[in-house]
Structure 1
Amino acid sequence: MTRSAVLGAGAWGTAFAKILAEAGSHVTIWARRESVAATIRERRINEGSLPGVKLPERVTATSDLAAAVAETDFVFLAVPSQTLRGNLADWAGHLPPDATLVSLMKGIELGTTKRMSQVIVETARVAPERVVVVSGPNLAPEIAAEQPAATVVAGLDAARAQLVQQAIALPYIRPYTSDDVIGCELGGAVKNVIALAYGMATAMGMGDNTKASLITRGLAETARLGVALGADPMTFAGLAGLGDLVATCSSPLSRNRTFGEHLGRGESLEAAQASTKQTAEGVKSCLAIRDLARAHGVEMPITEQVERVCHEGVDPRVAVKLLMGREMKPE
């Protein structure tokens, strides 16, 4: 029987611990606060992140990182993307020498414009083949409620990816493997930015034509950037591309869509953050994705306008006019 650690006690980390335990692994959740870890141990629930969801007996929790990762086969990383480098700098010395490191995060690092797998390789000083990425339409409350879903497990080492696939396969989770780490990570990061735009459009009362246009043109932006970085364009037609994009844009459970709705109602970035009280990865990632696109000469007009709304105070209605007024061109 495998042993797994999930580093991060947010909604997705907690839901993923449930998946792993139900698929047969012994799981330890690492929580920053001992009070959260104690509640999980004693009551088998993480009320702050995933209320009402009972965790299996195979799940325990600790605030001691070394204890969490000791003798594990898999270490699943589920912290906010912009905190990964700092956390890993502290954790690297405790990681088991051959454990597979699995990224559950969806973002691009500010400043470096690196994908999460690249940050893991660099900071933990491990071979790229040891890193696996999980991506796709993964709304934590739905998965915790055992609603059927599919996901993608991507890695350079096919054998490791298959081991992760086996470790999470359940009657309600169907994982597919892929070797396109770049495409899966970009799909997961950019969809958060497009979901912010979708949320803004929703709050402004725009219709289905607008929303469909945002999804399809957002997918085009993602694919252009992915191809420029060496991704397989077909990845963006799959679960980690279109699948994740549709789920994140259309679902009221999506943090990024919800955050975008606050912005679309005219709230400031600070007010929206205070209202949601959760991490909307797209808010920070839009800066890094914009910089990454510019560095590779890729046009990403929706991403550009989302960044301007989030960080330059541009009115969302002005951003829409700027998008619609761009020079005409072939699709």
Structure 2
Amino acid sequence: MWLANQTVGGDFSLLGIFSQTSHPGLLCLLIFGIFLIAVSGNVILILLIHIDSSLHTPMYFFINQLSLIDLMYISVTVPKMLVNQLAKVRTISVLGCGTQMYFYLLLGGSEYCLLAAMAYDRYVAICHPLRYSVLMNHKVCLLLASCCWLVGSLDGFMLTPITMTFPFCRSHEIQHFFCEVPAVLKLSCSDTSLYEIFMYVCCVLMLLIPVTVISGSYYFILLTIHRMNSAQGQKKAFTTCSSHIMVVSVFYGAAMYNYMLPSSYHTPEKDMMVSFFYTIFTPVLNPIIYSFRNKDVTGALKKMLGVGKAPY
């Protein structure tokens, strides 16, 4: 229905970040390089986790899911942006815009929940190590991951059709490099205030519940670390948790800015920079922060490449 409703008005135009710089070719090359690094890093990490049996643990199961989300996340926005720049066009069809919006919401919502599941996994591993294999067995991990994807799907199915049903009669020029909900809503000539309140409440719930789980998990983790007698155990636990806290801070901070701050705090330039950071840079940072500085992962990578093997 929304597709038929908007097709009459023609395609959308993504003004993007290239219009904000005097060196679009250099920026295009930089983004392409970041895209290749993100795709390579996450694909290698996914392959390592599947190939190496020593990484078949709940922690790496969730890291595998995170890498899959990041791989899809950056693929939803960057290829279209680069193709438009190279072809010297800015258009995106109504169907393409709706599809991009849906997958962006799906993956974002899934990642919010997945980060909470990962915090819970660390809580069980550090606070209840003797019961870890029982509390975090394969069925529990699959159930938690499925719930994360389900919540993300509901977010996309709920917000995308409503957003795309509004009439866009002011302009079809989106002041963004992809079809993000707040940027698309600015084009509507109808009153969207009630929907914005509804979206705000949804976002608060989507963020509040995972943040509560993460905060509670790390409260008990810090208590347990403080009571540890082993300095080496404290260091290992803190190193594992600090990586997760870093990713959570970056991802949730950007999400709160985009969806929870009043519109008076937003400008198209700020919105694009924040979105650029957590949709393009975060998929690059996650494999580095989480895994490639981890001895288990580097050991698995060396094993796969045959580095360090004794000669025959």
TM-score normalized by the length of structure 1: 0.27
Q: Which has the higher contact order (CA 8 A, sep 6+)?
A: 2
Flag the structure with higher helix content. Answer: 2
Flag the structure with higher strand content. Answer: 1
